[in-house]
Amino acid sequence: MPIYNAPLEDMLFLYEKLRDNKNYNEIDKYKEVTTDLVKNILEEAAKINQNLILPLAKAGDENPTVLENGIVRTPPGYKEAYKKFIEDGWTSLSCDPKYGGQGMPRTVSAFFDEMLSSASLAFKLYTELTLGAYNCIHHHATDEIKNKYLPNMVEGKWSGTMCLTEPVCGTDLGLLKTKAVEQPDGTFKITGQKIFITSGDHDLTENIIHLVIARASDSPKGTKGISLFLVPKFIVKGDGTVGARNGISTGSIETKMGIKGSATCVLNFDEATGFMIGPKNKGLSQMFTMMNLERIVVGIQGLGISEIAYQNSLSYAQERKQGKSNNNKSQNGNADLIIEHADIRKSLLNMKSIIEGERALCFWLSQQTEVSLNHNDQKIKQEASDMVSLMTPVVKSLFSDLGMEITSDAMQIYGGYGYTKDQGIEQLYRDNRITPIYEGTNSVQAIDLVFRKLVNKNGDIIAKYIEMMKSDLDLNNEKLKPFAEKLKTYIEKLNLFTDWMKEKIQNSKDDANAASNDYLRVLGYVAIGYSWLKVLEVSYKDYSNNKDFYEDKIQTANFYFNRVLPRVESHYISAITGSKYIMDYKFN
């Protein structure tokens, strides 16, 4: 079984030293969230993830969720772990105290999301979609529905899902067939089939609250006719207790490459009673409240799996002897530890520099998210919301794609042992493989970024982001200048790419489409570089207070700026060759 130790020192460093968003620090309700409180929370989070959740990863992979006589049964140990998990209040961490939550900001809960992703992604998915459904209901439902459903969801007694995909439609939700027929009492009868529903059915909670998109009888075709409905597995009675089974059944559980402990279900809705959430025909925008937050969390999943892959690779490299490294200092006789080999060291530093840069970028984004939701000034809220919108597809796609790179490199470091099941490394690769696919495939995310997020009704968002980065490059510290100059070079490359992309959006959409993934990566690598610059600023300033920690940061950043950031150049050169030779090619 893989080892895992939560990276508490790095997380606490970010919380203490990089919580530098003035607008975030103006949010009144978080002023009492002290570093000591956060330290206590994260230390307890580390314990439950390392000791209770981590063993579930192997258990769930070897004994997947099964469907028996219409009942979905989770892997051994899941029920007991889930019971302890909710008793300790982890489902309520970031939820509204009005409904029993602890009210912690995303600057804290994002760290917990990462730990849980590292420990067992399959287990995490049973609680993750609950929080997504909670957020959607919290933002869009009536007080009556909130009061009826949210307390039990916050407590973890009830779980939640989102039901979008159907056999006839994946990303193109306008093709959906699920119907909603209004009843005299104002409820709706929901009929249709949904597929690939994460945590769609299981035996961990006494009820499951499904958020389902469907088309009302009198609604138009396409996405304009989609409404959102709350459809419980069991009808909730007037006193709040669970009543009769609703018209929902599980057709099957998908047999998957990874996350085998997670129940990915085909759900059949047969005149199931549902309650409309928000206005009719506005369901897609309401569901996106859930989906957009979920996309950031998927990026964090990639980060979490990358972290545990790195930790185990490092440990193995420090124990395994193989070959001579040509290191004159070596005293190991016939064979050196593989960490002495330059190529292995390069792979490990590649992992480390990406992971720590991603974590810093995610922490910046979590501050922006809180500002977008909670600041008193509407203008400031909107500006933060635009930044979150811009970076959401970047975090979702780049973090999950780099998770594939890192887990693949981890297997390579292990050699033949990495390819076997004994070490648990190949499972990390398999578990992460879903992250570039679900919540909108990464190519869809890239297209969304290019065509919808760079410029919107509020202005040229990407120009504002680039200008923000440029304004932080005039630094007084001489030691920082080489890093700032390199970042400046690649920001200019991003600027050139952005101008090219804006032109192609107007004149050649095929060119823009073909370049979208490259553009997303360029923006992502530069954004991580910008986050590293912020880390370096603190590292040089506070160097004498913690020399070992900050020297490690400086050397890791040095690798990123010299070995990872230059990837920008190749993506740019490749992308601007256009698409004609692609679109004109005749496949047999």
- 295/400 Cα distance (integer angstroms): 10
Question: Judging by DSSP bridges, how do beta strands 179-182 and 207-216 pair with one another?
Answer: parallel
- The DSSP output letter for 228 is E
pLDDT given for residue 138 in this prediction: 95
Q: Which tens digits make up the pLDDT trace of 85-103? A: 999 999 999 999 999 999 9
DSSP string, 163-193: E--BTTBSS-GGG---EEEE-TTS-EEEEEE
pLDDT given for residue 476 in this prediction: 77
324, pLDDT greater than 90: no
pTM of the model: 0.96
Residue 352's nearest CA partner among 399, 406, 392, 401 is 406
Q: Which pLDDT band, with edges at 50, 70 and 90, does 122 fall under?
A: very high
Cα dihedral angle (174, 170, 91, 241), rounded to 10 degrees?
60
pLDDT given for residue 330 in this prediction: 58
Q: Which pLDDT band, with edges at 50, 70 and 90, does 326 fall under?
A: confident
For 488, other C-beta atoms within 10 Å of its C-beta total 15
**With contact defined as beta carbons under 8 Å apart, do 133 and 162 qualify?**
yes
217, pLDDT greater than 70: yes
pLDDT given for residue 168 in this prediction: 80
328, pLDDT greater than 60: no
143, pLDDT greater than 90: yes
- 184/87 Cα distance (integer angstroms): 40
Residue 73 Cα to chain centre, angstroms: 26
Give residues with Cβ within 8 angstroms of 92, minimum separation 6.
100, 101, 102, 154, 155, 156
- 125/294 Cα distance (integer angstroms): 11
**With contact defined as beta carbons under 8 Å apart, do 352 and 556 qualify?**
yes
**Mean per-residue pLDDT, 514-529:** 98
Beta bridge partners of 252: 266
Question: Judging by DSSP bridges, how do beta strands 179-182 and 226-232 pair with one another?
Answer: unpaired
The residues that are catalytic are: 439
Residue type, 294: E
Q: Which two tokens stand for residue 491?
A: 């920001």
- 56/65 Cα distance (integer angstroms): 12
Residue 80 Cα to chain centre, angstroms: 26
pLDDT given for residue 172 in this prediction: 72
Q: Which tens digits make up the pLDDT trace of 536-578? A: 999 999 999 999 999 999 999 999 999 999 999 999 999 999 9
Q: Which tens digits make up the pLDDT trace of 396-436? A: 999 999 999 999 999 999 999 999 998 999 999 999 999 99
Q: Which pLDDT band, with edges at 50, 70 and 90, does 43 fall under?
A: very high
Residue 386's nearest CA partner among 400, 398, 369 is 369
Residue 201's nearest CA partner among 271, 122, 120, 265 is 265
Average pLDDT for the chain:
95
According to the 3-state scheme, what is the secondary structure of 99-165?
Answer: HCCCCCCHHHHHHHHHHHHHHCHHHHHHHHHHHHHHHHHHHHCCHHHHHHHHHHHHHCCEEEEEECC
pLDDT given for residue 490 in this prediction: 98
**With contact defined as beta carbons under 8 Å apart, do 177 and 225 qualify?**
no
**Mean per-residue pLDDT, 175-179:** 90
Give residues with Cβ within 8 angstroms of 166, minimum separation 6.
175, 176, 177, 178, 192, 193, 194, 195
